[in-house]
A and B are shown apart, each in its own frame.
Chain A
């Protein structure tokens, strides 16, 4: 299984763009550091079946009602997106 960085997990509360708090250990950790095994991945567009695109930082949300379909970016947190469909 691919290792997750803290900022890709739900056990992490972002303090700023570089660091956050590990909610299980209460430690301040770097956002891009590897999270311990078993940490739950946080829903993001890149993990959603509605996301299409090959660009590293950009793509399309196929679930959008806009014409043409609206942009999406893989890194966006999707915990509040009601159309999120886990892969």
Chain B
């Protein structure tokens, strides 16, 4: 058998040690804390665990049928009518035992394609539309993206079920109609129409090559045009749907025929309000159809308790279809409904409910005081919410859903933070949210704890206990750092320090602008936080830093495909400074062209597929009459530039600087040859393992590259409080963060950096040859943006924290640091306290985000070998929690290999 890198290094006396701070026990160690949900929740959870991701044609059928009927209508009205029809015709499905209801499609994990956004990617591979998508580069990333083969994914067709887009199952009876509907959108979808116009951008050819060679992971405007933002439930809670219709009608009368000084879009307000009314009527029909179904089930039911629950559900739905909620459970049903409605309007991933503990607190406080509900009943509802949120699937391509999202939809709930007056915002309901996160540990909603020194100690300790369950949440995010970023980025749109306190996490880790609104309940006023900004994480998606470095070293030519991506620079790169300068030139060229092409995609989106439902939720659309596309939101400077592979890049630059430019142990040409030769190893795809340690020597290897490879692996690495490598990170951040301001979004605002990898470090690593840090071809990059590369952080966790905080995190929307800790390292109360101390130390140093995987690496290995025994094992990847069996192998391998701390 061929030798693995691990054994080669062991022979050379170099241990490839992935344990730090001690040694893990030999036996498999489970997490210290495991809890159980309420029985009814367990039953519904069991159903979820057995359910497959299932796609339905219903919503696209009715949307398309209505849309095609109104080809001469004003675009916003045409879309509103299509949405109304689709909502009105969605079939309700309710299961016994549910207390909350409403779902995306008529399955537990239902979703549906939106061919008006993009249709080529889910055609058969031989179909001309698919081939066209491949040529544009929008499908090539699919080849490097892998779903986990287990859980609810449907990676292959079977029986009467056809697998589409690598994840979803659809009934064969629906496939001909699915394809026919898709073809009706050919040339009209945002993807197709956007492509027609983006070709007019100078440098478009380069953009195509950038996408084909996976320098960038995916387009923005037609994949997930919304999401990674914080929703706002205020208007439905305060006014109810009838109340919003009343506002829209009154405003229509005020604005009809008037420009009011705005000769460009002032007149559009009339159509916008009219569109709002259509869409709300559709959502009301949808809710009332669920109410009818609940009433029908009541009539069928023989069990008295279940009969009563169906009746109460029907009454609740009938009430909230028109009126503002009066109780905790009505308010919960309302926000659940609003959430799913927003998700059905567009392809969205990362629609965060935000600080629901504070949004729902008025109802909680008054119901508890009046004895209408108990804390135990509240926990049960919170547990149920976790089943619903985890059931949310998003229909998009393999590259997007698999390669980027790992099937996760990031409905993150934020807890903690400060109130409007700057005091701790923690309330009793947020303790229960944490409790429910432990008693019903499921990937959604991932919890984000908005850390501030003012937060109560017992709340933070409870958070540590939840982390010890291994759920991967709550993550800790730093409130003062976020506020500084928000005031800097949105100050010109009116953001001040009081408003910045309303912030929450959108998506998994995006600092999102929010605002305060006064909610009234039984004569009392409560200021509640909610989203007030456009989607974040739109704009330039995931640019691979190691791939741009590869192209810099090889004169613009991709070494996997042989394609010339950039014009050759023809420079000798004889100094480190020349290398750095050329890297930045290619980087800027990449970001520059992607900004322009994505602006066009989003512009087409806003002309024909603008958000109506999401817009009416967000301040200040209902007040000013403008939707998202006309800058109706309070904060619009939300477009960003995303990077991937930061630490792999930093380590690579450190190796080049040391070995080639300073110590001159070899010249650049020799290094390039070694990289092309993959240091004498086989490609990761040949052995189907994407972790460095498992890579195998080629049979014909003459060990020529061994010495060089060892040195590359031992060159200075980020994560050790070593200034040599850390200064390269500092230099990069000081270039990258301000550079984003050189690009302008379609909304006329400058952009900002977003430094999360989600799952792209797997797919992008898969498409990139060996790197100068010793990483081998096809293997996964370092996780997130500040996690150390597996096995390279050897000086303990505090050294890693020092490395990570070498730069000012408030310059960026976010950054991520994940640490893997063996369960035995944080045993008992003392262990939890140590973990809190570590977390607090990071926050005090100015770190923005930290999170932990509390897991024994041996358990992960066992789970990879026997996934059938680990259906409910959850892990933290980048900024989210996901079931182990539903993530791709590249990301799994990195997680197994990541340094495991045996003591903190």
User: A66 CB to closest chain B CB, in angstroms?
Assistant: 6
Whether A64 pairs with B65 at a CB distance below 8 angstroms is yes
* B91 on the A face (CB < 8 A): yes
* A 11-38 binary contact with B (CB < 8 Å = 1; else 0): 1011111110101101010001000000
Enumerate chain A residues within 8 angstroms of B55, measured Cβ to Cβ: 17
Enumerate chain B residues within 8 angstroms of A28, measured Cβ to Cβ: 47, 50
Whether B91 pairs with A15 at a CB distance below 8 angstroms is no
Enumerate chain B residues within 8 angstroms of A81, measured Cβ to Cβ: 89
Whether A14 pairs with B93 at a CB distance below 8 angstroms is yes
Enumerate chain A residues within 8 angstroms of B687, measured Cβ to Cβ: none
Complex Cα distance, B61 from A61, in Å, reads: 12
Enumerate chain B residues within 8 angstroms of A18, measured Cβ to Cβ: 52, 159, 161, 169
Considering only CB atoms, which chain B residue lies closest to A57 in the complex?
B176
The stretch of B102-110, B567-575, B656-664 in contact with A is B102-110
Complex Cα distance, B171 from A16, in Å, reads: 10
Enumerate chain A residues within 8 angstroms of B61, measured Cβ to Cβ: 73, 76
A residues near B, CB below 8 A?
Answer: 11, 13-19, 21, 23-24, 26, 28, 32, 55, 57-58, 61, 64-66, 70-71, 73-77, 79-81
Given contacts A57-B173, A79-B91, contact A15 B47 (CB under 8 A): yes
Complex Cα distance, B88 from A58, in Å, reads: 23
B residues near A, CB below 8 A?
Answer: 47, 50-55, 57-58, 61, 65, 68-69, 88-96, 106-109, 152, 154, 159-161, 169-177, 180-181, 289, 297, 300
Q: Please name the 10 residue pairs, one residue from A and one from B, whose CB atoms are nearest each other, closest first.
A: A75-B173, A73-B177, A16-B52, A16-B54, A17-B169, A17-B54, A57-B176, A80-B89, A16-B51, A77-B91
What 20 additional pairs, Cβ within 8 angstroms, besides A24-B300, A79-B92?
A14-B54, A14-B107, A16-B51, A17-B169, A28-B47, A32-B160, A57-B172, A57-B177, A58-B176, A58-B177, A61-B65, A70-B68, A71-B180, A73-B176, A73-B177, A74-B173, A76-B57, A76-B177, A80-B90, A81-B89
Whether B52 pairs with A17 at a CB distance below 8 angstroms is yes
Complex Cα distance, B176 from A18, in Å, reads: 19
Enumerate chain A residues within 8 angstroms of B69, measured Cβ to Cβ: 65-66
Whether A23 pairs with B96 at a CB distance below 8 angstroms is yes
Considering only CB atoms, which chain A residue lies closest to B178 in the complex?
A73
Enumerate chain B residues within 8 angstroms of A13, measured Cβ to Cβ: 93-95
Whether B109 pairs with A16 at a CB distance below 8 angstroms is yes
Enumerate chain B residues within 8 angstroms of A76, measured Cβ to Cβ: 57-58, 61, 174, 177
Whether B95 pairs with A66 at a CB distance below 8 angstroms is no
Considering only CB atoms, which chain B residue lies closest to A74 in the complex?
B173
User: B291 CB to closest chain A CB, in angstroms?
Assistant: 13
Whether B177 pairs with A17 at a CB distance below 8 angstroms is no
The residue from B50, B68, B106, B289 contacting A66, defined by CB atoms under 8 A apart? B68
Enumerate chain B residues within 8 angstroms of A79, measured Cβ to Cβ: 91-92, 289
User: A23 CB to closest chain B CB, in angstroms?
Assistant: 7
Complex Cα distance, B177 from A71, in Å, reads: 8
The residue from A19, A21, A73 contacting B57, defined by CB atoms under 8 A apart? A73
Given contacts A73-B177, A80-B91, contact A17 B57 (CB under 8 A): no
User: A51 CB to closest chain B CB, in angstroms?
Assistant: 12
Considering only CB atoms, which chain B residue lies closest to A7 in the complex?
B171
Complex Cα distance, B53 from A66, in Å, reads: 32
Considering only CB atoms, which chain A residue lies closest to B159 in the complex?
A18
Complex Cα distance, B88 from A13, in Å, reads: 19
The residue from A16, A70, A80 contacting B88, defined by CB atoms under 8 A apart? A80
- Listed residue (B58, B92, B108) with the most chain A CB atoms within 10 angstroms of its CB: B108
The residue from B47, B50, B172, B289 contacting A80, defined by CB atoms under 8 A apart? B289
Complex Cα distance, B300 from A23, in Å, reads: 9
Complex Cα distance, B297 from A26, in Å, reads: 13
The residue from A15, A71, A75 contacting B171, defined by CB atoms under 8 A apart? A75
Enumerate chain A residues within 8 angstroms of B95, measured Cβ to Cβ: 13, 21
Enumerate chain A residues within 8 angstroms of B92, measured Cβ to Cβ: 79
Given contacts A15-B50, A73-B57, contact A26 B93 (CB under 8 A): no
Considering only CB atoms, which chain B residue lies closest to A67 in the complex?
B69
Enumerate chain A residues within 8 angstroms of B108, measured Cβ to Cβ: 15-16
Whether A17 pairs with B161 at a CB distance below 8 angstroms is yes
Complex Cα distance, B168 from A16, in Å, reads: 10
User: B516 CB to closest chain A CB, in angstroms?
Assistant: 39
Enumerate chain A residues within 8 angstroms of B58, measured Cβ to Cβ: 76-77
Complex Cα distance, B411 from A20, in Å, reads: 26
A-B contact pairs, 27 of them (CB 8 A): A14-B107, A15-B47, A15-B108, A16-B51, A16-B53, A16-B107, A16-B109, A16-B152, A17-B107, A17-B161, A28-B47, A28-B50, A32-B160, A57-B176, A57-B177, A58-B180, A70-B65, A70-B68, A71-B180, A71-B181, A73-B174, A73-B177, A74-B173, A75-B173, A77-B58, A77-B91, A80-B289
Complex Cα distance, B181 from A24, in Å, reads: 35
Enumerate chain B residues within 8 angstroms of A64, measured Cβ to Cβ: 65
Enumerate chain A residues within 8 angstroms of B51, measured Cβ to Cβ: 15-16
Given contacts A16-B51, A16-B54, contact A26 B174 (CB under 8 A): no
Complex Cα distance, B54 from A79, in Å, reads: 20
Enumerate chain B residues within 8 angstroms of A11, measured Cβ to Cβ: 300
Considering only CB atoms, which chain A residue lies closest to B53 in the complex?
A16
Given contacts A17-B54, A77-B106, A80-B88, contact A57 B65 (CB under 8 A): no
Complex Cα distance, B98 from A23, in Å, reads: 13
User: B708 CB to closest chain A CB, in angstroms?
Assistant: 52
Complex Cα distance, B57 from A80, in Å, reads: 14
User: B539 CB to closest chain A CB, in angstroms?
Assistant: 35
User: A34 CB to closest chain B CB, in angstroms?
Assistant: 15
Considering only CB atoms, which chain B residue lies closest to A40 in the complex?
B300
User: B157 CB to closest chain A CB, in angstroms?
Assistant: 11
- Listed residue (A15, A23, A61) with the most chain B CB atoms within 10 angstroms of its CB: A15
User: A46 CB to closest chain B CB, in angstroms?
Assistant: 10
Considering only CB atoms, which chain B residue lies closest to A71 in the complex?
B180
Enumerate chain A residues within 8 angstroms of B175, measured Cβ to Cβ: 57
Whether B106 pairs with A14 at a CB distance below 8 angstroms is yes
Complex Cα distance, B107 from A73, in Å, reads: 19
Enumerate chain B residues within 8 angstroms of A66, measured Cβ to Cβ: 65, 68-69
Complex Cα distance, B154 from A77, in Å, reads: 23
Enumerate chain A residues within 8 angstroms of B161, measured Cβ to Cβ: 17-18
